[in-house]
Structure 1
Amino acid sequence: MSTMYAALLRGINVGGHRRVPMAEFRALLGELGHEDVATHLQSGNAAFRSASGDEDALRAELERAIEGRFGFPVDCVVRPGGYLADVVAACPFPAAELEAKQLHVTYFDKPVDTARFAPLDAEAFRPEEFRLGDRALYLYAPDGLGRSKLAAALGRPALNRGLVATSRNWNTVVKLVEMTRD
């Protein structure tokens, strides 16, 4: 039995740096033995089918292969399609009423708890808000991510030490669910 997964690459193809062309990324996934490979946008989103049931092993395999092919390390988060659908279903914000640029999900490589973000005075950032989910953080930023002071605060290295974290806007979150549906 095989499963559809999404691979979310962190920090590639930004400002012409750390270039990972999507055609080469798709080819690499195929060379690793994965099937039904597709990518979305240029920011490192891929869907693929694998017989592996171990997302951590898939992540490690993919990170090694990317570094070997492109010559630099890239952190990845790999999640099965069912998990992605659960993230959408559990959204604590009214996604249907918001513009996609106002809602983002940060995917973490492992569970996080509220204590990690306790030093942050969330009230100081209103009307922006965040909520934690299962290895995910939901961010409501009414003026978009680029203007979000809360996003900048959440991205501080002290809050993310020891984590791999990568964010996607709501349109991409929903598209990844569609791409990984069995």
Structure 2
Amino acid sequence: MTTTYAALLRGINVGGKKKVPMAELRALLESLGHGAVRTHLQSGQAVFTSGHGDEESLAAEVTGAVERRFGFAVDVIVRDHAYLRSVVDACPFPAAELEPRQLHVTYFSAPVDEERFAGVDRSAHLPEEFRLGDRALYLYAPDGLGRSKLAEQLARPRVNKGVVATTRNWNTVTKLVELTAP
């Protein structure tokens, strides 16, 4: 049985660094034996089918292959359609009422708990706010991610210590659900 996955590559093609052409990424995933490979945007989303492995082993496989091919390390999170759909369904904010640039999801490689964010003064950043989900953090940033002071706090190494974290805007979050649908 094959499963459709999304691979989320962290920090590629940003500011001219860690360049990974999407055509080459597709070819790389195909060379690993994955099928129905597609990419979305230039910022590190690939969708593929696989009949072997699990999310963690597939992420390690893609991470290793990218490093061998492009010569630099890239963190990768792999998630299946059911998980991606559950993230959308569990959104604690009124996504339909917001502009997609106002809502973001940070995917984590492992579960995180509230204690990790104890040092973040939530009231100092209002009306921005965040809520935790299943290996995900939902961020409401009414002025967008680029102007978000809360996003800066949430991206600090001490907050993300020991986990891979990568953020996508709501348009990308919902597009990945669509692209991985059976």
- Unaligned stretches of 5+ residues in structure 2: none
The reply on whether 1:97 has 2:76 as its aligned counterpart is no
Provide the identity percentage. 69
Residue 52 of structure 1: CA displacement?
A: 2.0
Amino acid at match of 1:131: R
Whole-angstrom CA distance in 1 between matches of 2:69 and 2:150 = 35
Amino acid at match of 1:56: E
The reply on whether 1:162 has 2:156 as its aligned counterpart is no
Whole-angstrom CA distance in 1 between matches of 2:80 and 2:29 = 15
Do the aligned residues in 2 keep the contact of 1:101 with 1:144 (CA within 8 Å)?
A: yes
TM-score by length of 2: 0.99
The reply on whether 1:128 has 2:112 as its aligned counterpart is no
Residue 15 of structure 1: CA displacement?
A: 0.9
Partner of 1:37: 37
Do the aligned residues in 2 keep the contact of 1:8 with 1:78 (CA within 8 Å)?
A: yes
The reply on whether 1:137 has 2:137 as its aligned counterpart is yes
**Which runs of structure 1 show a deviation greater than 4 angstroms over 4 or more consecutive aligned residues?**
none
Whole-angstrom CA distance in 2 between matches of 1:141 and 1:10 = 20
Partner of 1:54: 54
- Unaligned stretches of 5+ residues in structure 1: none
TM-score by length of 1: 0.99
CA RMSD of aligned residues (A): 0.6
Do the aligned residues in 2 keep the contact of 1:34 with 1:49 (CA within 8 Å)?
A: yes
Correspondence 1:66-77 to 2 at 5 A: 66-77=66-77
Partner of 1:82: 82
Partner of 1:3: 3
TM-superposition CA deviations, 1:32-51 (whole Å, max 9, x none): 00001100000000110000
Whole-angstrom CA distance in 1 between matches of 2:52 and 2:123 = 43
Q: Helix, strand or coil for the counterpart of 1:48? A: strand
Equivalent pairs, count: 182
